[in-house]
Structure formats: C-alpha cells, structure tokens
Amino acid sequence: MSKVPYEVYTEDVEALSVLSPDGEIVNKDMMPKLSDDQLKEIMYRMVFTRTWDDRAVNLGRQGRLGFYAPVSGQEATMVGSEFALEKEDFIAPGYRDIPQLVWHGLPLYQAFLYSRGHQHGGQIPDGVNVLMPQIIIGAQILHAMGIAMGYKLKKQKQVVITYTGDGGSSEGDFYEGLNYAGVYKLPVIFFVQNNGYAITTPFAKQTAALSIAHKAVAAGIKGVKVDGMDIFAVIKAVQEAAERGRNGEGATLIEAVTYRFRPHSLSDDASKYRTKEEEAEWSVKDPIARFAKYLEKKGLWTEEDTARVKEEAKATVNEEIKKAEKTEKMTISGLIDSMFEQTPKHLEEQKADFQ
C-alpha cells in the first residue's frame, strides 16, 4: 500500500558567506557595492560600537545604567543591517538592538536614559524612524506589521526591519508576523540574530528545524541564512530584502548566525552553559578582526585608525552618560503625562494622591 508523501526538510540551508575569517573575498558575485568611504565608515561604526559596549558594561556594573544587554560579537549583524537601510526606513527592535537605533539617528544619551528607566529615553526625536527597544520577547514584530501595512496602503517606498533572536523565533508573535506579512506581501524584513542561546537555552533545544530560515516556507515568504560574523553577507542580504520590499515583492526572513562574546546580560554568567572551547572557536570569527584584515590589505585601515576611533568612542560615551545623568529626575506626573495624550481619570486621581 502506498504511503502519504509527507515532506520533511532534512537538509540545512547553506549560509551565505562573502568574507572569510582571513579577510579574503570568497564569493565575488555576492559582494555588495560599497565605496572606500563607505567601507571605512562601516569599520568606524563597528569599532565605535564595541568600545561603547565595553564602556556600557562597566557603567552598568557601577550602577550608572539599569538593564543592559551586551552586543560584542554581533557588530556585523547590527551595524551591517542598519547600514543597508535608508534613513526613511523603520526599525522595530528588541532589547539588545541599541546600536541599530543609534546609527539610525537616536542620540546615545537617550539610549542611556532608556537603560536607566527614564521617561525621556522613550521619546523619539522627530524624523528618527525607530521604536524604542521592546523588552517583551517578539512583541515588536506585531508593531512592525502595522507600520509595514501603513507603508503598503500609502504606497510608500519604505521598508520595516524588525529584530529578534533565536529565542524570539519560538514566540507566537513571530509566527503571526510571518503569516501576516506573507498574506499581505508587506515590505518587512524579519532579521533573526541567532547567537546560539536564548539566555541559557541552546539553539538545539529551541527548534527541531535545522534552521530558522526554513520557517519562511510555511509563510510563503523568502528565507535566507547568512554568516552573521560576515559584514558583507549581512549587508548584501538586507540590501536585497529591502529592494524586494520596495518593489512590492513582499517580506524576507533573514537568519544571521552570530555569537555574543559577552554574557546575555549583566546578571548572567555564561560560563555556566558555555565552554571555553566553544568561545575560543567563535573568537577567531570575530567580525571586526575579519573586516580589519580585508581593509588593511586594501590600504584603507590601520591599527592607528582603530586606536583613534576607540579614544573618540570613549570620550563620546563619557559625554553622553554625563548628559543622561544630568537630565531632570523622572516624576510620577511626568511618566504618566508622557504616555497619554489624555490621561485616564483613574490615573489623574493617582497623580493627585502623590502630589
């Protein structure tokens, strides 16, 4: 008797790679078109981001920041994906995605205010197309669907990119977003930074699928997997996804395989669930070191350039944290008034009780 021809995807998706760990181009056809000035600007942002991350970790340990999720190791996914966008495009981030917001126009001191829990940290300046980081895992994906639908209805040539991690890909909001974007062919990019762990949960216990990119199939959208430690692979994938969105060709799911060099947060101890051998294996794939080798061979970057950017970043971070610390203290009235255009009666009564 014949059996029902069930289909199971038993082969992994090959990850797009353009730049080897030795700084060599291994896929010329997929190399994004970038000028020398753009290449240097990307490197500047990556070095600046890691330096600010180092400083932010120390600020958190000093009690000068609140919640902070380190980003070192993920500079290619963060800097690269934002660089591939236009300033008019919109970003709906998760809580680790502070660098994308800052490079998209959010003042750094406001990012620090957000970490400190201050109301002004969530007040986005006019013309900066970002939402503040979403602490609820995956909730930003549904917000991105609304923005993308607005662009589609208004026939605007803008796209939305929304970020989550491998853990976020297990949330219901993730699947709802994929399905909705597929049905309505929305101009949205789902960018999953698969760093191997959802806090302590390894990717092997996150899904039985061989890749997150496979999940695009059921939603009827494009899916791609990239080397998330490769700045060129990230930029190329996002550029093409954005172009598809602008041309009315629908959504794209990008899985970027990366690694966070630091713990999940300042209260996490990664040594409890990661081995030194694993960390060493990933350290040789460092996205900044890889890109630096490429630029040095082209005569576009030196160790002196890296040192200069680090000093500039340290000075900038010091100025921005001081600005955040000098901001007027948050009040109950200010918190409520900044959230509602017309304050509900019960909150007005509570405000009066505090005064």
How does pLDDT run across 72-98, given as a tens digit for each residue? 999 999 999 999 999 999 999 999 999
**Given this model, what pLDDT does residue 11 score?**
74
Helix (H) or strand (E) holding 256: strand 252-257
Between the alpha carbon of residue 29 and those of residues 32, 60, 83, the distances in Å are 9, 43, 20
* Residue from 354, 351, 355 nearest 336 by CA: 351
CA 41 to chain centre: 18
CA–CA gap between residue 152 and residue 245 (Å, rounded): 10
CA–CA gap between residue 48 and residue 288 (Å, rounded): 11
**Given this model, what pLDDT does residue 340 score?**
84
CA–CA gap between residue 35 and residue 32 (Å, rounded): 10
**Given this model, what pLDDT does residue 333 score?**
84
Assign a CATH topology to domain 28-329: Rossmann fold (3.40.50)
> What 3-state DSSP class applies to 79?
helix
Q: Which of 96, 104, 264, 290 is catalytic?
A: 264
CA–CA gap between residue 191 and residue 15 (Å, rounded): 14
**Given this model, what pLDDT does residue 232 score?**
98
Q: What is the strand order of the sheet 188-194 is part of?
A: 90-92, 160-165, 188-194, 252-257, 222-227
Assess whether 260 carries a catalytic annotation.
yes
Q: Which of 116, 260, 274, 290 is catalytic?
A: 260
Tokens of 213: 């990119």
Q: What are the DSSP E strand ranges found in 42-127?
A: 90-92
* Residue from 227, 180, 240, 295 nearest 13 by CA: 227
CA–CA gap between residue 353 and residue 160 (Å, rounded): 42
Tokens of 128: 């900066």
How does pLDDT run across 220-231, given as a tens digit for each residue? 999 999 999 999
All residue ranges of the chain with pLDDT < 50 are none
CA–CA gap between residue 184 and residue 181 (Å, rounded): 5
CA 89 to chain centre: 14
DSSP-assigned beta bridge partners for residue 256: 193, 226
Domain residue limits, the chain: 28-329
Q: Are the C-beta atoms of 32 and 242 separated by less than 8 Å?
A: no
What sign does the CA torsion over 295, 93, 203, 244 have?
negative
**Given this model, what pLDDT does residue 337 score?**
84
Helix %, strand %, coil % of the chain (to 5): 50, 10, 40
Q: Which of 143, 175, 262, 273 is catalytic?
A: 273
